[in-house]
A and B are shown apart, each in its own frame.
Chain A
Amino acid sequence: QLQLQESGPGLVKPSETLSLTCIVSGGSMSDISHNWGWIRQAPGKGLEWIAMMYDGGYIFYNPSLKSRVTISVDSSRSQLSLKVRSVTAGDTAVYYCVRYTRFADYFDSWGQGILVTVSS
């Protein structure tokens, strides 16, 4: 059974870089029928898609976050990474690592999520 587990610091200072890692187990990240990405949810708010990587390394970003976000996939280590630069309190959220099924276009697997708070 596929499992996704996010990890990283729970507290980041304003203007610094938020860095998270997701370990994928129980499945291959090289499967071309799936993409890998990140979604976040601010406290008491809705879901916000951040970015997604297709096979071949193509990455699509939420236009509102594109200038500050980088994602990468290391299939050999079954890892997905997220970096958000120049964070503010508005980046405080639960961050979810997700798997996306292509050609039917839906998120079929989610990590448990990790709360990241931006505060000095």
Chain B
Amino acid sequence: QSALTQPPSASGSPGQSVTISCTGTSSDVGAYNFVSWYQQHPGNAPKLIIYEVTQRPSGVPDRFSGSKSGSSASLTVSGLQTEDEADYYCMSYTVAHTVIFGGGTKLTVL
């Protein structure tokens, strides 16, 4: 299975909005609404920030939002803050009962 496609990098200034894309196929992203997003700061384990395309776990700021259209999903970070600088990974459940990650996007807050 090939990784979901994410841009390697994204950037924005504090207060701006940034959107990170995640492109899959009809066998993963396009098959179910089971797309999740993870934030990883250097040296730390990833942290869940979005699940089921649009849902935020308790404690995750509403600046983080998700969406999906067809076989592509997106994560939007609004009102960028310096602490949002991190790596972001999308993940999808697949028709083969496996899961697959995106290659990751490094978000830089300028």
The digit string for B78-110, where 1 denotes a CB below 8 A from any CB of A, is: 000000000001010100111111111000000
Which of B1, B38, B93 sits near A62, CB closer than 8 Å? B1
CB within 8 Å for A47 and B38 given contacts A106-B48, A106-B52: yes
Contact with B along A20-56 (1 / 0, CB 8 A): 0000000000000000000000000011110010000
Bound CA span A63–B96, Å:
10
Ranked nearest first, the 4 interchain pairs of A and B with the lowest CB-CB distance are: A105-B34, A106-B36, A106-B51, A110-B45
Residue from the list B38, B55, B57, B98 in contact with A60, Cβ < 8 A: B98
Residue A47 contacts which of B52, B55, B101 (CB distance < 8 angstroms)? B101
- Interface bin, chain B: 20 to 34
Which of B45, B57, B100 makes the CB contact (< 8 A) with A96?
B45
Please list the residues of chain B having a beta carbon within 8 angstroms of any beta carbon in chain A. 1, 3, 32, 34, 36, 38, 45-48, 51-52, 55, 57, 89, 91, 93, 96-104
Chain A residues contacting B47 (CB-CB under 8 Å) are 110
CB contacts (< 8 Å) of B100 on chain A: these are 49
Q: Which residues does chain A contribute within 8 Å of B101, judged by CB atoms? A: 46-49
